Structure 1
Amino acid sequence: MRKYILILLGLGTTFMTNAQEPIFVQDSLKCISSQFKFTEGASVDKAGNVFFTDQPNDKIWKYSTNGELTLYMDKSGRANGTYFDKKGNLIVCADENNQIWSIDKNKKIKVLFTDFEGKKVNGPNDIWLDAKGGIYFTDPYYQRNYWTRQSPEIEAQRVYYLPRGKKQAIMVADNVEKPNGIVGTPDGKYLYVADQKAGKTYRYKINADASLSDQQLILNQGSDGMTLDSKGNIYVTGKGVNIYTPDGTQIGHIEVPEAWCGNICFGGKKRDVLFITASKSLYTIKTNAKGVE
């Protein structure tokens, strides 16, 4: 029988499955800054620098591997979820006009996606890119105070796939109520999708044509954002951060002293620092796990 050990970590509480291989090696969370309104969209570039959004303030921030926090972009299209492609472009869910953007190293913006079958989608929220450069994105409806519209043009809240170099997206999942957090496995075989309204997280098989099949319930928890480590453990956000094995067994919880945790990623030169965007703040905690994104 597997034994569980409870360890108290200052600001956080973490469960571990093996005393010789604890998930966390630092005794407390570190608050980098609390100058934001609502942080979201954490992602990491090839060097290990972490980028995240402050959506209400319409900004993208950068936290470098040398510990420097700087404003990366103002007027970011109300960027929400973000992800880096293989060329180093920052792909963002530009929620202001329900688009997806690519931002290159010179901060030149290219609009990749504008509508689905002539209608504005609800609001691209979170994204994950496959090895082909195709973009999976969730499309829940959250009414924004900066929109002129007061109702959705598309009633269904779905998951879409945008093939690399194409303008037209493909609907790949409509068997969810309000999809939000999303992440795929490094081998490209599976995609995790969190259904925030249903309070569930599902795993889909990714087919050769990028379609999804074989929906499996993995967690009885939704999530605003998700990430994976090299062992396939799943990190989900909400009231703090919960950590699960690939089969859905909970092995950890990090308490975060904020109302809500929006997103999460591994960063740093060794991808062993967990970055948590939480309400008005950005937090980090050093781990002996390794991120795969």
Structure 2
Amino acid sequence: MTDQDLLPGSLLRRPGEIRADARFRGCQIDDPQLARVLSPDAPLLVLHAGTIHAEGPAWQASHRRLLFSDVPNRRLNAWYEEDARVEVVIDATWFMNGNAVAADGSVWHCEHGRRCISRSNSDFDGEPVPIVTHFEGRRLNSPNDVTVAPDGSIWFTDPIFGIVMPSQGALAQPELDHRSVYRFDPALDELTRVADFEQPNGVALSADGATLYVSDTSLSLGEVPGFSAGSKHEVERFTRRSDGGWGGRARFCRTDHGYPDGFATDERGWLWVSAADGVHVWSAEGVRLGFVPIGATVSNLSFGGSDGRRLFIAAGSRLLALDLEAGT
């Protein structure tokens, strides 16, 4: 027997049938626009169960798989479309949270432990390489969520959650005196501080890259021993100016239950927002279109699947999915 014989396998879910959540009672449709996209009777599919804290779903089209983190378990997992199996892609991560897939199939990660933005190649050969570690000579706080813009730039949020919650990283004092959202240009190796928040969390861009959404969830600090809750539980919106800068900062939506952790935009410009009670859907004009009652706290969402119609939902111990209507 060798040490290799003692290592665990990577399989977390065997290939097999996908079952619907029998407790799910359907989607709440508040606007006819949503009725054309999402059936009120659409089943809530259970793709995987058994994570501690599912996060950072990201569709990797080159491999027909959905990547997602299990933050406290220090794993990056993958659900495969071909047979619905789930495997560990990276074991013993540095508390990976958000993930984003670039056009070439490479994957960008938010790491709480190493307090950085790292990058893996599409096949995950070798260790993730830290790419963004400091701002103006000081270590980042604990990058949380990340997205790739249409122009290839990398956008990420940098709150302190990963350095004040032992289950999410390791305790440390922040070196920066601000909590911000950043834009990183890989071609120029240039990092830009775009805006400051109390505690920025989720980040997403519209399909054309002209609208930026960032959630501020300082309210959640009340769950951390020794910290007081902030007042923020909302998504803010920015618009790109003709000079390339960002302005028009305004509150876009606020959650009544919990806080908007992560979210996903679609080709219509709609925002699908996580909350403590499920998923809320908003139009680009800020109209609430409907609600998907999950019965658990949702942390993040991502669109994907071979036809792009599947909404993946990271919700506590489960990875779930909803399929949108065909032809929409």
TM-score category (smaller protein): 0.7 to 0.9
Greater Cα offset, 281-290 or 114-123: 281-290
Q: Partners of 2:305 and 2:41 in 1: how far apart?
A: 15
Change in Cα spacing, 1:168 to 1:230, as seen in structure 2 (3 Å) is closer
Check if 1:161 corresponds to 2:183.
yes
Name the larger-Rg structure.
2
2:299 partner amino acid: G
Identity of aligned residues (%): 23
Higher helix share: 2
Are 2:232 and 1:194 equivalent residues in the alignment?
Answer: no
What is the rounded CA distance, in whole Å, between the counterparts of 1:148 and 1:262 in structure 2?
21
Mapped pair 1:217 → 2:217: no
Map 1:102-113 onto structure 2 (within 5 A): 102-107=119-124, 108=126, 109-113=128-132
Cα distance, 1:250–1:114 mapped onto 2, change above 3 Å:
same
Name the CA distance, whole Å, in 2 between partners of 1:30 and 1:273: 10
**Correspondence for 1:271:** 308
Partner of 1:18: 32
Structure 1 stretch 207-216 or stretch 281-290: which is displaced more?
207-216
Q: Is contact 1:26–1:287 with CA below 8 Å preserved after alignment?
A: no
Structure 2 equivalent of residue 33 of structure 1: 48
Cα 1:276–1:234 shift into 2, 3 Å = same
Output the CA distance in 2 between the equivalents of 1:217 and 1:224. Answer: 15
Give runs of aligned pairs for residues 42-53 of structure 1, distance below 5 A.
42-47=57-62, 48-53=64-69
Q: Which has the higher contact order (CA 8 A, sep 6+)?
A: 1
Aligned to 2:19: none
Query: How many residues are treated as equivalent by the alignment?
Result: 281
State the Cα distance separating 1:25 from its structure 2 match.
Answer: 6.4
**1:110 Cα deviation from its structure 2 partner:** 2.2
Q: Aligned partner of 2:29: which letter?
A: F
Structure 2 partner of 1:230: 267
**Quick one: distance in 2 between partners of 1:193 and 1:290?**
30
Tell me, yes or no, if the aligned pair for 1:113 and 1:168 is still in contact at 8 Å.
no
C-alpha distance 150-101 of structure 1, shift in aligned 2 (>3 A): closer
Matched-pair contact (CA < 8 Å) for 1:25–1:286: no
Unaligned runs of 5+ in 2: 1-22, 219-231
d(CA) in 2 for partners of 1:159 and 1:289? 35
Take 1:273 and 1:213, find their aligned partners in 2: how far apart are those partners? 32
Could you tell me which residue of structure 2 aligns to residue 4 of structure 1?
A: none
Letter paired with 1:206: R
RMSD, aligned α-carbons: 2.3
Task: Name the CA shift for 1:168/1:95 in 2 (closer, same or farther; >3 Å).
Answer: farther
TM-score, with normalisation over the residues of structure 1? 0.88
